[in-house]
Structure 1
Amino acid sequence: MKDAVIDIRHLSFYYDRQKVLEDINLTVEKGSFLGLVGPNGSGKTTLLKCLLGLLKPQHGEVRLFGEDIRKFKNKHDIGFVSQKANSFNTGFPASVQEVVSSGLTAKLGLFKRMSQSDKKKTAAAIEAVGLSEFSDRNIGELSGGQQQRTFIARALVSDPQLLILDEPTVGVDAGTVENFYHMLQDLNKRLGITLILVTHDVGTITDKVTHVACLNKHLHFHGNSAEFEAMGEQGLSDFYGHSVNIITHDHHHHH
């Protein structure tokens, strides 16, 4: 597929002969927003590590932007935000602006002064995640949700085509989470960034994402949000092995 950002074929991964991922086939098209869900231990983190080239699968292939991952060089096309990002100690002496601009250092070399264009990029990334008024604030003073937005801005600043977020709402309070997902939806729609969101919040995200993939060693489901919602709670419960309540949302958007 020419517009596939990610194309995974027949990927299997073992740790000590134990199958963690078995025959995964997954295509993610440009501009889509994929929610990747699955119980703990289902292989989600392993799959991300295979995508980021940190682990080599024993079988199958991973292609990024049409290129075999082993040949893939444009690492800055992919932004990654881990769930560890928000475990910052509050004494950490860096402003939002400093943290975000550090996302450019890979390209800049660490101690070069920021040019005007870098300042512009940094400001634009901070604005994209709605933190402009906190630009000079010490990151340690921010809430968990604001810290996580800062790390997303840091990933955005190098202008990636694909942004991967691993459980980004861990440690973010429920009220903020909804706004947080709206922000991701906005980044996807307005900036056209392809997003992959690894999450437990199945119910919360179905009205934000364009596609859902359910992983539990195998890929049990991959389709668009409507198909996923049609599968309903029974299908999901079969997949998780216990009952799952999908919270259906009244689609009033709170801003």
Structure 2
Amino acid sequence: MDDILRIEDVSFRYDDEDVLQHIHFRVPKGAFVGLVGPNGSGKSTLLKCILRLLKPQTGRIFLFGTPIEQFKDWHKIGFVSQKANSFNTGFPATVYEVVASGLAGKLGLFRRLKKSDEKAVYEAIDAVGMSPFIHRNIGELSGGQQQRVFIARAIVSQPEFLILDEPTVGVDVHHVQSFYDMLERLNKQHHMTLLLVTHDIGTITEKVTHVACLNKHLHFHGSVQQFAQLKTEDLASFYGHHLHLLAHDHA
């Protein structure tokens, strides 16, 4: 199986603080990888290295088999951050307009959408279950609905690899399950490779195909079946505290 992302011996430090230490990590094509770990474990720093916002002191990163320093096809990658938690609800744009703006990098800022582009916008909105709200101002939506729109914006250009940084921050707890169901559909039905940063262990075991546990070192990286066989004390040692602080009950 081809690797969408491959990380070899990556280390990163801020001043005198080691944040990532000798990370070896891969995301196979078609996988849904859950990246978990406590606060301050280096998850956000690793994402910034993958997106080339930070440069590691040591190691190499490959995207689609290409060294990141030479990688040019950024349209193949979509990124969703914790936007809904801090979004300006007064922003004057409809769901359609926000999602269509995701094509700016492909088309340019001032080019009109072609029929095929309009079709892509409608399909992206439908894929995240937001078609009934297509003409609604995004500021009128709930946090969970806004995050769905941001995901639609990220996938409208049809990326092959979607990276999500704790996307359920600000999402009502009663809608978290349906949110993760949507991500599972993107992976299984739309054949999109996903890397999800989350604290939600319950979701990891229910939805993803692979799990990585990061706490400066990569303590575990394997299939969800292998993850399910780990002992509670092993996970507690990875995290540095009892697992019940991270577990989530969808019921």
Q: Which of the five TM-score ranges fits, normalised by the shorter chain?
A: over 0.9
Alignment of 1:94-105 (within 5 A): 94-105=93-104
CA distance in 2, matches of 1:140, 1:240: 37
The DSSP-based 3-state class of the residue aligned with 1:39 is coil
2:171 counterpart of 1:185: no
Q: Residue 218 of structure 1 aligns with which residue?
A: 217
TM-score (norm 2): 0.96
Which has the larger displacement, 91-100 or 77-86?
77-86
| Partners of 1:86 and 1:147 within 8 A in 2 | no
CA distance in 2, matches of 1:86, 1:129: 19
CA distance in 2, matches of 1:4, 1:214: 19
Paired amino acid for 1:156: I
Q: Residue 133 of structure 1 aligns with which residue?
A: 132
Q: Residue 45 of structure 1 aligns with which residue?
A: 44
| Partners of 1:21 and 1:47 within 8 A in 2 | yes
Pairwise CA distance, 1:113: 1.6
CA distance in 2, matches of 1:248, 1:40: 20
Q: Residue 82 of structure 1 aligns with which residue?
A: 81
Pairwise CA distance, 1:156: 0.2
CA distance in 2, matches of 1:90, 1:222: 39
Paired amino acid for 1:131: M
CA distance in 2, matches of 1:86, 1:18: 28
Between Structure 1 and Structure 2, how many residues are aligned? 249
Pairwise CA distance, 1:85: 4.4
| Partners of 2:144 and 2:175 within 8 A in 1 | yes
How big is each residue's C-alpha offset from its partner over 1:193-251, in whole Å with a ceiling of 9 and x where there is no partner? 1000000111233110001100000000011111111113221111111111245768x
Which has the larger displacement, 94-103 or 233-242?
233-242
Pairwise CA distance, 1:176: 0.5
Shift in CA distance, 248/87, structure 1 to aligned 2, threshold 3 Å: closer
CA distance in 1, matches of 2:158, 2:79: 12
The DSSP-based 3-state class of the residue aligned with 1:207 is helix
TM-score (norm 1): 0.94
RMSD: 1.3
Alignment of 1:86-125 (within 5 A): 86-125=85-124
Pairwise CA distance, 1:114: 1.4
CA distance in 1, matches of 2:32, 2:49: 19
The DSSP-based 3-state class of the residue aligned with 1:104 is helix
Percent identity at matched positions?
Answer: 63
Pairwise CA distance, 1:17: 2.8
Gaps of 5+ in 2: none
Gaps of 5+ in 1: 251-255
The DSSP-based 3-state class of the residue aligned with 1:61 is strand
CA distance in 1, matches of 2:29, 2:79: 17
Q: Residue 31 of structure 1 aligns with which residue?
A: 30
2:143 counterpart of 1:156: no
Shift in CA distance, 174/30, structure 1 to aligned 2, threshold 3 Å: same
CA distance in 2, matches of 1:66, 1:208: 26
The DSSP-based 3-state class of the residue aligned with 2:225 is helix
CA distance in 2, matches of 1:249, 1:141: 27
Q: Residue 253 of structure 1 aligns with which residue?
A: none
CA distance in 2, matches of 1:162, 1:32: 10
The DSSP-based 3-state class of the residue aligned with 2:207 is coil
Q: Residue 230 of structure 2 aligns with which residue?
A: 231
